[in-house]
Amino acid sequence: MDQNDGANGKGAHGRPLGRGLEEISHLFLSHSTRDVSTPSDASASSSEAESAAPSGPRETAVLRRPPRVTRNRLAAILPLDWSDALEDGLRTLDAKIPCHPCGEIDVLAIDRTGRLTIIDFDVVPNDGLLLRGIGHVDWIMRNTQMIQRLHPDQSFDAARTPRLILLAPQFSPLLRRAIRQLTRPEIHGVRYHIVEAAAAPRILFEPIAGE
């Protein structure tokens, strides 16, 4: 007798299978053997997959979220001489000037006409930057003589109202409208972009005048 009784519609003990079971008996018998691919079959499948893949160099694009810029990191890459980066003749006089109760002036500079210029910045879009800057202008106007004593070797026009430059990664439409309406002090909004370079990060400036 053939050992593969399932093929003749009989069970393991030679009994006839129930009605309809002979059609599906092979499903049960298939578990007794494993379908093992031969090396030649695997090679053929690999060759077919490679032929189906598009030709050309394979590149994997990795998207990385840019690191958040901190105030200290931004301050470290701001230029001392702003002539090439932002405005001809603009140079830093002092930085991180405490001015209670108005916080701290980020940068105090002098422009080419000898006018004091306050440069305040933020690392996120912030409409409060304008209010902070105006407070700093008021503080400088009230303490011009102290600034002169701190920097006796620097000459500037103490009679003129200081200018205000606001640096931010972005300005809201509301803030841009407010800057356009204010005529005193003279305010300039400047958008900055940090470019990661191999040697050192660079900062680029984009005035928002006219937006």
Is the alpha carbon torsion for 22, 27, 31, 34 positive or negative?
positive
Instruction: Indicate yes or no: pTM above 0.85.
Output: no
User: Whole-angstrom Cα distance, residue 77 to residue 123?
Assistant: 13
HEC string of 65-113 equals CCCCCCHHHHHHHCCCECCCCCCCCCEEEEEEEECCCCCEEEEEEECCC
Mean pLDDT is lowest, of 65-69, 116-120, 207-211, for: 65-69
Beta bridge partners of 116: 110
More confident residue, 190 or 11: 190
Ranges 22-31, 52-61, 65-74, 128-137, most confident: 128-137
Beta bridge partners of 105: 97
Burial 159-190 (b: 16+ CB within 10 A, else e): eeebbbbbbbbebeeebeebbeeeeebebbbb
Q: What are the boundaries of each domain within the chain?
A: 5-52, 71-207
Q: What's 71-207's CATH class?
A: alpha beta
Q: How much is the pLDDT for 69?
A: 76
Structure token pair of residue 43: 């090679």
Q: How much is the pLDDT for 19?
A: 52
